Chains A and B, each alone.
Chain A
Amino acid sequence: MTTTVDEVLPYDEALAAFDPVMGLEVHVELGTNTKMFCGCATTFGAEPNTQVCPVCLGLPGALPVVNAMGVESAIRIGLALNCEIATWCRFARKNYFYPDMPKNFQTSQYDEPIAFNGYLDVEVPGEHGEEPWTYRVEIERAHMEEDTGKSLHVGGSTGRIHGAEYSLVDYNRAGIPLIEIVTKPLTGAGERAPQVARAYVAALRDLLKALDVSDVKMEQGSMRCDVNLSLRPKAGEPTSPEQAAVPLGTRSETKNVNSLRSVERAVRFEICRHAAVLSNGGSIVQETRHFHEDTGATTSGRIKSDADDYRYFPEPDLVPVAPSREWVEELRATLPENPAEHRRRLQTEWGYSDLEMRDVLNAGALDLIERTVAAGASAQSARKWWLGEPSRRANTEALELVAYADQVGLTPAYVAELQSMVDAKRLNDKMARQVLEGVLDGEGAPTAVADARGLELVQDDGALEAAVAKVIEGNPDVADKIRDGKVQAAGALIGQVMKEMKGQADAGKARELILSTLGEG
């Protein structure tokens, strides 16, 4: 295992001399019920080798057949990325020997991808006082292929490939449909290249989620990013024949970067590493690199070699895919609103400030709020409830808000129900908070929690009137002030009335009653 620590140049210095060029390859596992070429299930986490058959094990004579939903999803992804859709295309065999690929080839697409020449406009958030920026990521292609099996390396000290005595392979994942989305070389991002990379992967994730074609869980590997990076001199003529031959610079490919933050860090690290090599007069080796979450650094993997001679040829066991234009247009009509436009529309509809919207997005509450509003709550109340106690507890438990809500059974319908009880004056704000805590503690629906805990505003006006009369009588000085027009003094009395009512009164109503009794209503 390589233990060399690469030299890096400070980021600012790197950017002063070089222009980063990126190419991002994203693999996304489709959420189909079955694999791309056979009817095996695709359930995540199943017992090893229980979702395999002669086709995905590559047994002799097995005949693959294309999953119609795989093609449909690929076309919808292509359309959402503003791509052209091929009128006719084929699968190809990518030949290589590796134990996680039991057929000794991967069924992929080569020079005839199903979707090509697209783009995705990405909103790059403003940081350090910069303005938000829209960057157009040009899409080279999106093609269909299949995933590989999963290896467990036994006997090595680190669990990684190096030093392993042997490997144990589970083929449940082999054959699961993958779409590989490849960008064109991305230039002009300059010092914001790392943020552009992150924003692109985030936008792609949101888009794929909105398309409902994948669960896009980077932590489970259903979405994975390979980062290609090279540097070219900032300005002027090439300084060497080597540069002239490779105008965009020689690239490294950092494999399987599996979180948004890691994408950003990997780009940044590679910029600094390339810059150090080039500044010292060295050359970049075209190689595969591995990203390490703990250090934020990449280390050298495999050098591109003869082994990358894949000898592609058209897959003879599958017939060409030729989507009719009618079908493509039908699928275009099923496309959801672009997530960025969707967010802008909701912000306008809900009347959120930019700051409020940012908090909502950071909390991962957009979808929950949208569903809460659909269930009848106002946008402001939905935001208030979701960003309150549930967000606080999700944060404490290091869970995404959606995952936390799922875990404790807090639904948008419950939040809407809670707010409707407040609107109906059945609960005051303080009581509603207690009810919400009860829901989070697993005591059931808001109505049930309120009933069980005996939380309900006293609706009996007689009791409230009696309490108001008693408090006024007990505080003649304050009452006089209010009679003299010092309305703000009512606060002291409201507190006492609430105490008399054991908290189970509507403070607003108490205030009205105090003021009207004292002739200021």
Chain B
Amino acid sequence: MAELTRDDVAHLAGLARIDLSEAELDRMVGELGVILTSVAQVQQADTDGIEPMSHPMPITNVTRPDEVRPSLTADEALSGAPESELQRFSVPRILDED
């Protein structure tokens, strides 16, 4: 696997809306690099002829009937919101790039 670069980390931080200082970026390149190297050991296992797996249980088609279940009340829904107004979640000004 290619080495994780400082640009990669800055890009990911941007996508995740995490503001990292220059010093933090440097530290994360190192720390994430170690994690990736550790996980990469798994890639040494011989997986020829083995189907990739995205779920631990070999089951399909778990569905529920289209029947309405009780929702939260608006008060309950908003109880964790730092700010609300007009029974809605108040969020900071939306993205500059739009």
Contact of B71 among A32, A51, A162, A322 (CB under 8 A): A51
Check if A309 sits within 8 Å of B64, measured CB to CB: no
Report Cα–Cα, A141/B86, bound state, in Å. Answer: 39
Residues of B within 8 A of A96 (CB): 15
Report Cα–Cα, A305/B86, bound state, in Å. Answer: 34
Residues of A within 8 A of B72 (CB): 52-54, 57
* Given A98-B94, A169-B88, residue A50 in contact with residue B71 (CB < 8 A): yes
Any B CB within 8 A of the CB of A336: no
Contact of A166 among B74, B78, B92 (CB under 8 A): B92
Check if B71 sits within 8 Å of A40, measured CB to CB: yes
Any B CB within 8 A of the CB of A340: no
Report Cα–Cα, A319/B57, bound state, in Å. Answer: 8
Check if B97 sits within 8 Å of A302, measured CB to CB: yes
Report Cα–Cα, A381/B65, bound state, in Å. Answer: 44
Any B CB within 8 A of the CB of A511: no
Report Cα–Cα, A321/B62, bound state, in Å. Answer: 8
Contact of B11 among A33, A52, A171, A306 (CB under 8 A): A306
Write the A78-106 contact mask toward B (1 if CB under 8 angstroms, else 0).
00000000001010000111110000000
Check if A321 sits within 8 Å of B66, measured CB to CB: no
* Residue of B78, B88, B95 with most partner-chain A CB within 10 A: B88
Any B CB within 8 A of the CB of A164: yes
Check if B15 sits within 8 Å of A152, measured CB to CB: no
Any A CB within 8 A of the CB of B21: no
* Given A34-B67, A39-B68, residue A319 in contact with residue B77 (CB < 8 A): no
Check if A307 sits within 8 Å of B63, measured CB to CB: no
Check if A306 sits within 8 Å of B74, measured CB to CB: no
Check if B94 sits within 8 Å of A153, measured CB to CB: yes
Check if B67 sits within 8 Å of A319, measured CB to CB: no
Any B CB within 8 A of the CB of A65: yes
* Residue of B17, B66, B68, B93 with most partner-chain A CB within 10 A: B66
* Given A49-B89, A68-B66, residue A307 in contact with residue B61 (CB < 8 A): no
* Given A40-B68, A152-B86, A306-B11, residue A97 in contact with residue B17 (CB < 8 A): yes
Check if A53 sits within 8 Å of B87, measured CB to CB: no
Report Cα–Cα, A461/B81, bound state, in Å. Answer: 81
Any A CB within 8 A of the CB of B54: yes
* Given A97-B16, A316-B54, residue A66 in contact with residue B88 (CB < 8 A): no
Check if B88 sits within 8 Å of A161, measured CB to CB: no
Check if B94 sits within 8 Å of A52, measured CB to CB: no
Number of A residues whose C-beta is below 8 Å from B?
A: 62
Report Cα–Cα, A96/B15, bound state, in Å. Answer: 7
Residues of A within 8 A of B87 (CB): 47-49, 170
A324 — nearest CB in chain B belongs to which residue?
A: B61
Any B CB within 8 A of the CB of A41: yes
User: Shortest distance in angstroms between B36's beta carbon and chain A's nearest beta carbon?
Assistant: 15
User: Shortest distance in angstroms between B67's beta carbon and chain A's nearest beta carbon?
Assistant: 7
Check if A65 sits within 8 Å of B91, measured CB to CB: no
Any B CB within 8 A of the CB of A69: yes
Check if B15 sits within 8 Å of A309, measured CB to CB: yes
* Given A52-B71, A152-B86, A168-B88, residue A161 in contact with residue B54 (CB < 8 A): no
A177 — nearest CB in chain B belongs to which residue?
A: B66
Any B CB within 8 A of the CB of A194: no
Any B CB within 8 A of the CB of A299: no
* Given A53-B71, A161-B98, residue A322 in contact with residue B60 (CB < 8 A): yes
Residues of A within 8 A of B85 (CB): 154, 168
Check if A167 sits within 8 Å of B71, measured CB to CB: no
Selected A-B contacts with CB under 8 Å, 21 pairs: A34-B67, A40-B69, A41-B71, A48-B88, A49-B89, A50-B77, A67-B64, A68-B63, A69-B66, A99-B91, A152-B88, A162-B98, A166-B90, A167-B91, A167-B93, A168-B84, A169-B89, A169-B90, A169-B91, A305-B97, A319-B57
Partner-B contacts on A (CB < 8 A): 32-34, 38-41, 47-54, 57, 59, 65-71, 88, 90, 95-99, 151-154, 161-162, 164-171, 301-303, 305-307, 309, 311, 314-316, 318-323
Given contacts A49-B87, A154-B85, A167-B92, list 6 more A-B pairs with CB under 8 A: A49-B74, A65-B62, A98-B95, A152-B86, A171-B77, A309-B15
